[in-house]
Amino acid sequence: MIIAEALNPREPFSIERRRLLEHLTQRNYAYLIAHSNESLSASQEQLFNTYLTRLKGGEPLAYILGEQEFYGLSFKVNPQVLIPRPDTELLVDHALSLIQTLNHPQVIDLGTGSGAIAITLTKHCPALTMTATDVSPAALSLAQHNAKLILKDKSSSVIWLQSNWFEQVTGLFDVIVSNPPYIAPGDPHLHGDGLPFEPQLALTADNQGTQALASIIKDSPRYLKRPGYLFLEHGYDQAAFVAQALEQEGFTEIKLHLDFNHHPRLTQGTLR
Ligand code: GLN
């Protein structure tokens, strides 16, 4: 198979084909176009076809490539962790602009998965002390690997903790951030968009998807300094629930942020 054939824009998955070929050949798109009459090696062609079959089976490209870009950084991913989403870049944006106003802030990321939030915040604000938790040892070890690749010698500044939300957490923090599971079990959305390949533990929560959010909000005051700040990603229809739960725990200055599809996606609150 020649490169032009593999890149055929009239075939389905044209963007994915391009990414797969870049990955397989370790060449960029400009190179591939310039060499489009050259043949793939037999092993490249075989791998390309295997990858295409996996794509057609609904598997997310990120799991096939083993990586996903988040906030301009490349994160290793595997089916033990949720694939970092552009939605979550919104959380990083807002948390970062607050964190950058604080002096040596102590920050905790609950349910860090691939480490996307914790590592990105650390990368952009080296003065912070970051703690990152996950209940899954496999997720934590992948997050630590990402920290080494992305933060290099600063990776040792992140404290990793295997914990179910706050269970193993001690101490006080200026900022708590989390992208917890918030999809209701049985939500039809779980059957599409590659979600069946992602860890259900990272996606679904009981009580219409609100259980993890509720538990984090309820326990946060015991782990926050005053003032202390909480940033939570949530479902598009959970903003009212989150705001009410925050108010009930005494949070003020509750702000809702919309994602790129103009859906309510992130809520922050302050405890004074
Ligand atoms: N935003 C993701 C989705 O809808 C869910 C992420 C999560 O549960 N935290 O696919």
Q: Which atom of ligand 1 is nearest to the CA of 265?
A: 1
Positive or negative: CA dihedral 151, 96, 158, 102: positive
Q: What are phi and psi of 35, to 5 degrees?
A: -115, 30
Per-run averaged pLDDT (10 residues), the chain, 272 residues: 94 94 96 97 97 96 98 98 97 98 97 98 95 98 98 92 98 98 97 97 98 98 98 98 98 97 98 98
| CA of 208 relative to ligand 1 center, distance in Å | 13
Give the pLDDT score at 154.
87
Ligand 1 centroid to Cα of residue 203, in Å, is: 6
> What's the first-to-final CA gap in the chain, in angstroms?
64
pLDDT at residue number 155: 86
Atom of ligand 1 nearest to the CA of 203: 8
How remote is the CA of residue 75 from the centroid of ligand 1, in Å? Answer: 17
Q: What is the DSSP string of 199-224?
A: -HHHHB-HHHHTHHHHHHHHHGGGGE
List the beta strands (DSSP E) in the chain. 67-70, 73-76, 106-110, 129-134, 158-162, 173-178, 224-233, 252-258, 264-271
CA-nearest residue for atom 9, ligand 1, is 181
Which pLDDT does position 53 carry in this prediction?
96
Mutating to test ligand 1, I would choose from 77, 135, 182, 187 the residue with most ligand atoms within 8 A of its C-beta, which is 182
Separation of CA 2 and ligand 1 centre (Å)? 38
* Amino acid 170: pLDDT: 98
Amino acid of residue 230: L
Point out the ligand 1 atom lying closest to the alpha carbon of residue 195: 10
pTM above 0.85, yes or no: yes
Q: pLDDT tens across 1-57, in order? A: 999 999 999 999 999 999 999 999 999 999 999 999 999 999 999 999 999 999 999
Q: Which atom of ligand 1 is nearest to the CA of 87?
A: 1
Q: 253 CA distance to ligand 1 centroid (A)?
A: 25
- Per DSSP, the chain holds a count of helices (H) and strands (E) of 12, 9
The binding-site residues of ligand 1, defined as CB within 6 angstroms of any ligand atom, are 85, 87, 179, 181-183, 195, 203
182 CA closest ligand 1 atom index: 8
Q: Which atom of ligand 1 is nearest to the CA of 85?
A: 1
Tell me the CA–centroid distance for residue 183 and ligand 1, in Å. 7
pLDDT at 118: 98
